[in-house]
Structure formats: structure tokens, C-alpha cells
Amino acid sequence: MRSQLDAHTSENDPVRKVLLINGQSQQVADTFNALAPDGLETAWLPANLSDAEKIDHLCDVEFLVLHPASVSGVVLREAKSLRLLQLLAAGHEKVDLKTAMELGIPVATNGGANAWAVAEHAIALMLALYKRLIPCDKSVRAGEWRKAANGFNTFELAGKTVGVIGAGNIGRKVARRAKAFETNIIYFDTFAVPEIENELRARKVSLDELVSTADVITLHAPLLKETQGLIGQREFAAMKPGAILINTSRAELVDEAALIEALRTKKIGGAGIDVYYQEPVRIDHPLLTMDNVVLTPHTAGHAFEGWARRCRFARENIQRVTRGEHPTFVAKLD
């Protein structure tokens, strides 16, 4: 990837700099530059920079945009001009949020810009598991026709109970999409969500009730101290034998060893996984050998439409700060 600089300043205006540190493709940088705020000088750099290199480039930058979202407290303390740290992602686990708050630097997430993509991906994983799409595709290509699906190992989503863990922006979108398949919706969250209770007849339940009664369990909770390891050996033991688990949120919400054991012993019906403790996944990982798992490479939030939405939201937040207003969707400590 090559670095680009796109100046939008006039000679009479003070130069205010926006820097995108981009670990994705050239297309992301091009989209960001096309939607960058007028009157600011925008540049982008690849994400594989050392702390020393980041410090060097941030000496006079006022707005730092990150994807992936990774920056240390060491870097933040040297970024003397920084007024906003804007993420194009929803998670902020790799940002030293405590130091940012001490320095008075707001850290803003993407405002739910990828919620549509993640919700659709979660539904796609449910259907892929229930319809055995991956084995069926392989069997057709191998000339084995219906060997992978005999009519007794594929299932309908209709009539099932879908348990949504985390009824935030994404969780609510998943619930609405799942309801369209004529399912029953239950959810576990810290707070009641009248919006989906009234609209979808969703019912708020305890975690214990959710894991023991849901046919499909889909995770959409943030990674906090209270949610780390939320689904472990105890929860898997309580699940229905045919239950499937979908995780498009954070790998650490699930005890990985307990998940592998539940899948290996067929305690649960299967899992659709988009997030992992180590990324990329090592080639000898046990999940890669299992036929009751559908795996995707942490791409649930990636969609063509979403990149423009993320970059547009970043632009709007930067404009708020330049006008002396507070940015929106500012992250807070656990």
C-alpha cells in the first residue's frame, strides 16, 4: 500500500491535520480521503508502524483515525496536538482508553456503522449451519450429490427459539432479522429493551434460562470484565443437544476450550465463528478440523456499503470537534 496525502486547506486557514492509520486495503484509504472533511489536510499510513514511527507522524496531528483500532498510552502521551481519536471499528480493546481519558482525548467508536453487516452475517452463519451449506457445496463439487444432506440432518429456522445475548444496536438488528424467519426471540442484557419487546414480543430472560432454552444462541455483547468468559463449561452443559452458537462479537466472550469440547463431543449441534483468540487462526487449531463449525475470518462487519458509512461517521465527528462540539459514541472505561 502506498501512502497518500490529500490537502483540503487554503493558504489563509490554519493547517489542521487528520491522519488515518489503515490496516485494511487501499480502497479503505481512498474512501476515507474522498469523504474527508473540507478544510483539513488528510493523510494515511499503513498500520504496521512501531510506536516510535507513530509518535513521529503524530507530532502535529489533531485527528487520528484508526482501523484496526490499536494505539498505546506511550503514543498518546506524545501526541500533544491530538483532539480526537476516531475508530472505524466498534471495539476499543486495543486502545489505551485509560490514558486517553487522563489526557482528555475522546475515543469514539464507529457509531454502529457496521451493525447491518454484522447482523446479516450472524443470520448467514445460522442458515449455513442449519442447512449444512459448506458440506453440501463440497459434496456437489465432489460428484457426491446429496451425501452431505439426507433430509434428517438439516433444519428450519422457523419455530426455533433464538437467544440474543446483548440487545444493543447489533443485537436488536439480529433479533428483527431472526423474527422474520418466524422464530421466538428471547434476550439477555443488563437492561430491558422495550423496543424489541413491543415490536417482536421478545422476552428478557436470565442467562441461565437463555442458554438452557434457546435453539440458537447469538452473541452481541461488548467485551467487558463482566462478559469475559460469559459462555463456559457450565453454560455449554446446560445447552440443548442440538443448539448452535454464533459468535460475531468477541472471541473472549466464550471459553474456547469449553467450546471445543462441546463441539468435539457433539454436546451442541454446531457453531458459527467469526472471531478468535489469535488472528489469523493457527493452521493446527482444533476448530479447523471440525465439520460442525462454520468459520469466517473476522469479516462479519465488512461490507461495501459499510466502509462509506464508517468514513462518513468519522468525518461528522471530526467536524463536530472542529466546531467546538462534543463527538458522539465516545467510549468509556468498563
Q: Which of 203, 298, 302, 312 is catalytic?
A: 298
CA distance 285 to 170: 28
CA distance 327 to 109: 10
The CATH code of domain 5-113+303-322 reads: 3.40.50.720
Could you tell me which residues come within 8 angstroms of residue 56 by beta carbon, excluding any fewer than 6 positions away?
A: none
* Listed residue (323, 324, 322, 272) closest to 298, CA to CA: 272
* pLDDT tens, N- to C-terminus, the chain (334 residues): 333 333 333 445 556 799 998 888 788 888 988 887 788 888 888 888 899 999 999 989 999 999 877 889 999 999 999 999 999 988 888 899 999 999 999 999 998 899 999 999 999 999 999 999 999 999 999 999 988 999 899 999 999 999 999 999 999 999 999 999 999 999 999 999 999 999 999 999 999 999 999 999 999 998 888 999 999 999 999 999 999 999 999 999 999 999 999 999 999 999 999 999 999 999 999 999 999 999 999 999 999 999 999 999 999 999 999 999 999 999 987 6
- For residue 13, the model assigns a pLDDT of 52
Ranges of each domain in the chain: 5-113+303-322, 115-295
One fold for 5-113+303-322 and 115-295: yes
Is 298 considered catalytic here? yes
- For residue 251, the model assigns a pLDDT of 97
- For residue 4, the model assigns a pLDDT of 37
Q: Which of 121, 177, 220, 250 is catalytic?
A: 250
Q: Which of 279, 305, 325, 326 is catalytic?
A: 279
Is 302 considered catalytic here? no
CA distance 23 to 43: 14
Is 102 considered catalytic here? no
- For residue 1, the model assigns a pLDDT of 33
Q: What b/e readout covers 120-136, taking b as 16+ CB neighbours within 10 angstroms?
A: bbbbbbbebbbebbebb
DSSP 297-332: -S-TT--HHHHHHHHHHHHHHHHHHHTTPPPSSB--
Q: What is the pTM of this model?
A: 0.87
Domain 115-295, classified CATH 3.40.50.720, yes or no: yes
- For residue 8, the model assigns a pLDDT of 39
- For residue 334, the model assigns a pLDDT of 66
